[in-house]
Amino acid sequence: MAARKDIVVVGASAGGMDALQKLVAGLPAGLPVAIFVVWHLSPGVRSVLPDVLTRNGPLPARHPEDGDAIEPGRIYIAPPDRHMLLERDYIRVARGPKENRFRPAVDPLFRSAAYVFGARAVGIVLSGALDDGTSGLWTIKMRGGTAIVQDPADALHRSMPLNAMENVAIDHKARAADLGPLIARLALEPAGPDRALAEEDRRRVEREIRIAEEFEALDEHVLQHGELAPYTCPECHGVLAQIQEGRIVRFRCHTGHAFSAATLLDGVTEQIEARLWDAVRAYDETVLFLNRMGEQLAKAGNTKAAELCFDKAREAHERSRPVREAALRTETLTDESVR
């Protein structure tokens, strides 16, 4: 019997709850596919998504445990603060380094689905900011799988589907409410032949999956798969390698953190504001300390030294003004804001 398109991986971020509810509502009962969902969520926040999706559609949804078997007719949702990855017959749940500043991230799931299941994999990018999912969808397409995006006009946040469309040869674009019936139609189609990745890409994808599974990035020699970049990792300040995938440019550091170009820009400009406020804090502490010293000296009758402390405190306060103004004016840049 020919293989079918029975492995569906879905990525969503901001605005994704609405899109996911519409997607599952359109699925038929008894659908012979396994659906895997990554929705960006802050660590420590209890996810209500399994309950919501179970109520809104005919398929049961839950968080998997590491090593759970893959069963058709089920929706598996990445647990908070854990990557979800696929093996041939089971699911891996691991706390590997963040990708695109998230854990769980979309790209590791998509990448593992492409690597293991080839043309059987169907990747869907829904509403979200920035571009998590684009690299993984590119890998799905390169392996012969099917690439789908939510119509950006239908998305509450269009950046994720737009970035995927700009960098990947998309097979289908649809409103969230139409994705369930589309999945059902695709499940009846033969998967077609798997495509082999170029050897360099195959080794890199394999190593990046292992990094998400908590293998040490330095041991995986990840820096061999790109040119060293003149930037540092916003997460750990480690060395970054620049990786090219078709038109996609992204980065990975020697400790394992990974970034798209848009996410790296977001992280770097966010650091600028943080450093400026660090400088403001240091100035304010200096002003407080000098004023306190001046008060103590004045009480002790040493008015000359006290006045010197008060003068220095005024000077520090004046020097802090342009730094404070710069911090207030600093804007976190994204790919959308510089287009």
Tens digits of per-residue pLDDT, 260-319? 998 998 887 777 887 888 888 999 999 999 999 999 999 999 999 999 999 999 999 999
Query: 3.30.70.1450, 3.30.300.100, 3.90.198.10, 3.40.50.180: which CATH number matches 7-186?
Result: 3.40.50.180
User: What pLDDT score was predicted for residue 248?
Assistant: 95
Q: What is the rounded end-to-end Cα distance, in angstroms, of the chain? A: 48
DSSP H or E stretch at residue 91: strand 91-94
Q: Are the C-beta atoms of 250 and 261 separated by less than 8 Å?
A: yes
- Collapsing DSSP states into helix, strand and coil, what is residue 36? strand
- Please give the angle made by the CA atoms of 211, 141 and 191, to the nearest 5 degrees: 110
Ramachandran angles phi, psi of 79, nearest 5° = -70, 155
Reading the block at residue 27, the tokens are 């699925």
User: What pLDDT score was predicted for residue 338?
Assistant: 44
Catalytic residue among 6, 107, 131, 132: 132
For the question of residue 13 being annotated catalytic, the response is: yes
Distance CA 208, CA 136 (A): 11
Q: What is the pTM of this model?
A: 0.86
Q: In what order do the strands lie in the sheet with 74-77?
A: 61-62, 74-77, 34-39, 7-12, 121-125, 146-150, 172-174
Beta strand extents in 182-274 (DSSP E only)? 227-232, 239-245, 248-253, 258-260
User: What pLDDT score was predicted for residue 331?
Assistant: 66
User: What pLDDT score was predicted for residue 23?
Assistant: 98
For the question of residue 219 being annotated catalytic, the response is: no
Distance CA 201, CA 207 (A): 10
User: What pLDDT score was predicted for residue 14?
Assistant: 94
Provide the residue-wise pLDDT of the chain in tens; the chain has 339 residues. Answer: 679 999 999 999 999 999 999 999 999 999 999 999 999 987 777 789 999 999 999 999 999 999 999 999 999 999 999 999 999 999 999 999 999 999 999 999 999 999 999 999 999 999 999 999 999 999 999 999 999 999 999 999 999 999 999 999 999 999 999 999 999 999 999 999 999 999 999 999 999 999 999 988 777 777 788 899 998 898 898 989 999 999 999 999 989 999 999 899 888 777 788 788 888 899 999 999 999 999 999 999 999 999 999 999 999 999 989 888 887 887 655 555 544
Facing residues of 172 across strands? 148
Reading the block at residue 144, the tokens are 């012969």
Phi-psi category of residue 251: left, alpha or beta, with phi > 0 → left and psi -120 to 50 → alpha: beta
Distance CA 312, CA 80 (A): 50
Distance CA 260, CA 266 (A): 10
Spans of all domains in the chain? 7-186, 263-329
